[in-house]
A and B are shown apart, each in its own frame.
Chain A
């Protein structure tokens, strides 16, 4: 029982960066943009979040952990949105190929983050860029007197860091936005049929830009989570290491539904840490490939079972040029 709770808690912690990446990409894809740059965007958000918290901590007389957390979130969001802005300019305005632009963004973002991570490390006295204990504490699990002390539910529900709750809130908010709000309806129209949306007076370009940039910002927060929580507030070379790509696959697993993204990221979070909790007698290197094998199985399964409600936005990956109608 205890080890099962440990596994679940660890799965939630490991799944949260995937959740942010998946949510950001769902929002992006709902506008018809297939952004394969999630990996790069998460890298960019990761290094920007670390930089924000790190330089704030060094500049402030008496750094506040909560403010550092807030700065990290804002920096990660802005840098992720910046990466997506490059993507939007190239694909929406300059009509470049979406696949290749996304891959270019991944190459750029990975280089960008490793580059500035190493520049930061090179400039510090210790030789590595790490935040102090005060800031680290802001990214650690919370403790609510009373609630967190409830035997099982306390650990399962009230023991995580703030970003986990932010992720869940973002999933619920995105779900509401897409299904219940006027703007969400317009956005879905843009992703399904930009021609129709355009004829109905919806500004297709503006929606594509907005959804892609905000989506990229959300992905950026996922990258920041990896740096600040998973790696403990220090820049590790190549730290995102494929999680962005798993997030792209999770979008398919979740069938473009933010609520199902919650479940998907929990499952994939569990797969990525399972070897620490469930020994199966398999070599660790092979155990580490489980999330990727599972992704392949999901891809195959989804393609085998084509159902109407599970389909991607109809114009996903298809560029829209008004004159080409």
Chain B
């Protein structure tokens, strides 16, 4: 008896046990509970500011999807978010922490804008749009492959490298905007001219045709990652570089190739932004999309199909927070706070999917009753 009590005392209050397997239903239950936890934490914050959480959340949804105009705006936010998340997916799957999608979007946008600004008179419209698209793919790929080459050759830290490239390309854009590409008539507020009609993407069902591109990307990337040999190589490198080497894969080549792809897709998003959404190039063309897309990609567990829903959710948050700013005078940064809270809960809940907690003495009782 005393022996027993002693072991019980030595045993920690809570033990962590790895789960063997878990049913899909339970996984989704845990995720749903985490999402609920995030919503409730957000509600507490709203309550602390002296507002009614239900009313604020309600207005967010009204602001994001309450009318056709609002819905179109929300979709316009979701398009680049989804595209950039798809771009990040192969890199992250390879555990190459590409946080430079922001810069790669900008690089693609600058390359596309070059042709929009200087060749809109000399090229027929389909050709012009085609050239802009190709230029954007090349621009994004170039900006994505630089850190990949250094990583492959010398193991240079890619997280910081890709990040610094974001700021460098942003500086370059500001230089263009203030110098060579400045519209002469814009005066004290330097701006780049609006694109000609020929350089603008057509619309389909009220939204620029970018949404078709992005949905095609989702399908293409899903097949690429799941079914192709290259997708398999990416997964192996991500799981264990040593295994990949042992299996005779050229890891450096895979890293460079994957980042060419990742950067090119991000560059395409830049093209959609300048040619479909804004009709011009500004310093806000990327506007944090590359960073938020990381959230989208990770919450979707790098599954492009799930990204559609996550991107839609974050777009609703972002558009809705504009509404609550005007309705309740709650700053629009609330959307970032809520995004952060959702992320924290989702990151934390994975633990409860992979492990279960055993309270002290629980297991023993089960043993005795047997």
Chain A interface residues toward B at CB < 8 A = 36, 86, 89-90, 93-97, 99-101, 103-112, 114-115, 118-119, 122, 242, 245, 248-249, 252, 283, 285-286, 288-289, 292-293, 295-296, 299-300, 303-304, 323
Which 10 pairs between the two chains have the least Cβ-Cβ distance? A108-B340, A111-B336, A289-B171, A118-B331, A104-B343, A114-B333, A285-B175, A94-B351, A285-B174, A115-B333
Task: Indicate whether B57 reaches chain A with its CB closer than 8 angstroms.
Answer: no
Starting from the known contacts A95-B351, A103-B99, A111-B334, 5 additional A-B residue pairs (CB-CB under 8 Å) come to A100-B294, A101-B347, A107-B336, A115-B331, A249-B160
- Contact assessment for B348 and A248 in the assembled complex, using a CB-CB cutoff below 8 Å: no
B195 lies within 8 A of chain A by Cβ: no
Contact assessment for A300 and B164 in the assembled complex, using a CB-CB cutoff below 8 Å: no
B162-188 residues with Cβ-Cβ distance < 8 A to A are 163-165, 167-168, 171-172, 174-175, 178-179
Asked whether, in the complex, the Cβ of B341 is within 8 Å of the Cβ of A108, the reply is yes
Encoded as 1 (CB less than 8 Å from any A CB) or 0, chain B from 317 to 350 comes to 0000000000001010111111111011001101
User: Which listed segment binds A: B75-83, B113-121, B150-158?
Assistant: B150-158
B242 interface residue per 8 A CB criterion: no
Evaluate whether A36 and B159 lie within 8 angstroms (CB atoms) in the complex, with A107-B292, A288-B171 already known. Answer: yes
In the complex the two chains form, is B347's CB within 8 Å of A100's CB?
A: yes
Q: Is B154 a contact of A304 with CB atoms below 8 Å?
A: yes
B179 pairs with A283, CB closer than 8 A: yes
Asked if B33 is at the interface of the complex by the 8 Å CB criterion, the answer is no
Q: Which of B161, B178, B331, B337 contacts A283 (CB 8 A)?
A: B178
CB-contact partner of A323 in B18, B99, B179, under 8 A: B18
- For residue B280, CB closer than 8 A to chain A, the reply is no
Count of B interface residues, CB-CB < 8 Å: 48
Complex contacts, A119 vs chain B, CB 8 Å: 49, 331
24 contacts between A and B (CB under 8 A): A36-B159, A89-B348, A90-B347, A93-B351, A96-B350, A100-B347, A103-B99, A107-B343, A110-B336, A111-B336, A111-B338, A112-B340, A114-B336, A115-B337, A242-B167, A248-B160, A249-B160, A249-B164, A285-B175, A286-B171, A293-B168, A295-B160, A299-B150, A299-B157
Mask: chain B, 138-155; 1 = CB below 8 Å from A; 0 = not: 000000000000100011
Determine whether the beta carbon of A86 is less than 8 Å from that of B344. yes
Beta-carbon contact of A115 and B154 below 8 Å: no
* CB neighbours of B178 from chain A (8 A): 283, 285
Q: Mark B17-45, 1 if CB is under 8 A from A, else 0.
A: 01000000000000000000000000000
B residues near A, CB below 8 A?
Answer: 16, 18, 49, 97, 99, 150, 154-157, 159-161, 163-165, 167-168, 171-172, 174-175, 178-179, 291-292, 294-295, 298, 329, 331, 333-341, 343-344, 347-348, 350-351, 354-355
Measured CB to CB, the closest approach of chain B to A101, in angstroms, equals 6
**Chain A positions within 8 Å of B157 at CB level:** 252, 299, 303
Question: Smallest CB–CB gap between A34 and chain B, Å?
Answer: 9
The reply to whether B347 and A96 contact each other, CB–CB distance below 8 Å, is yes
Determine the residue in chain A with the shortest Cβ distance to B180: A283
Asked whether A323 lies within 8 Å of B150 as measured between CB atoms, the reply is no
Nearest neighbor of B17 in chain A, beta-carbon distance: A323
CB <8 Å contact, A100 and B298: yes
Tally inter-chain residue pairs, CB-CB below 8 A.
137
| Shortest distance from the beta carbon of A93 to any chain B beta carbon, whole Å | 8
Note all chain A residues with C-beta closer than 8 A to B295. 103-104, 107
In Å, the complex CA distance between A115 and B329 comes to: 11
Contact residue among B168, B294, B338, B348 (Cβ-Cβ distance under 8 Å from A94): B348
* A contact residues around B341 at 8 Å (CB): 108
- Taken together as a complex, chains A and B put the C-alpha atoms of A108 and B341 apart, in Å, by 7
A95–B350 CA distance with the chains assembled, in angstroms = 9
What is the CA–CA distance of A111 and B331 in the complex, to the nearest angstrom?
Answer: 10
In the bound complex, residues from chain B placing their C-beta under 8 Å from that of A100 are 294, 298, 343, 347
Q: Is the CB of A299 within 8 A of B156?
A: yes
The complex places the Cα of A114 from the Cα of B351 at a distance, in Å, of 30
CB-defined contacts of A99 to chain B, threshold 8 Å? 97, 159
A111 to B172, CA, bound (A): 26
- A295 / chain B contacts, CB cutoff of 8 Å: 160, 164
Q: Which residues of the partner chain A approach B160 to less than 8 Å between Cβ atoms?
A: 245, 248-249, 252, 295, 299
In the complex, which residues of chain B have a beta carbon less than 8 angstroms from the beta carbon of A283?
Answer: 175, 178-179
Residues of chain B within 8 A of A292, CB atoms compared: 164-165, 167-168, 171
**Distance between A256 CB and nearest chain B CB, rounded to angstroms:** 13
Q: Which residue from chain B places its CB closest to the CB of A283 in the assembled complex? A: B175
- Complex: A110 Cα to B337 Cα, angstroms: 8
> Which of A86, A118, A122, A245 contacts B163 (CB under 8 A)?
A245
Q: B276 CB to closest chain A CB, in angstroms? A: 25
- Name the one of B16, B163, B334, B340 contacting A105, with C-beta atoms under 8 angstroms: B340
Contact status B333-A300, CB under 8 Å: no
Given known pairs A90-B347, A248-B160, the reply for A303 and B172 (CB within 8 Å) is: no
* List of B residues within 8 angstroms of A296 by Cβ: 161, 164-165, 168
Determine the distance from Cα of A152 to Cα of B71 in the docked complex, in whole angstroms. Answer: 64
Q: Which B residues are in CB contact (< 8 Å) with A118?
A: 331, 333
In the assembled complex, the Cα of A289 lies from the Cα of B295 at a distance in Å of 26
Decide if B167 touches A97 in the complex (CB within 8 Å): no
The CA-CA distance from A314 to B175 in the complex, in Å, is 41
A103 to B281 CA separation, bound complex (whole angstroms): 27
Asked if A112 and B18 make an inter-chain contact with CB atoms under 8 angstroms apart, the answer reads: no
In the bound assembly, the distance between CA atoms of A111 and B292 in angstroms comes to: 12
B338: nearest residue on chain A (CB-CB)? A111
Q: How far is the CB of B326 from chain A (nearest CB, A)?
A: 13
Cα separation A198 to B344 with both chains bound (whole Å): 28
Interchain nearest-CB distance for B224 vs A (Å): 22
Smallest beta-carbon distance B92→chain A, Å: 9
Query: Which chain A positions have C-beta within 8 A of B329?
Result: 122
Q: Which residue on chain A has the smallest CB distance to residue B343?
A: A104
Chain B contacts for A109, CB-based, 8 A = 340
Min CB gap B20→A, angstroms = 14
Q: How far is the CA of A110 from the CA of B163 in the complex (A)?
A: 16
* Beta-carbon contact of A303 and B150 below 8 Å: yes
Considering residues B150, B339, B348, which has the most beta carbons from chain A within 10 angstroms of its beta carbon?
Answer: B348
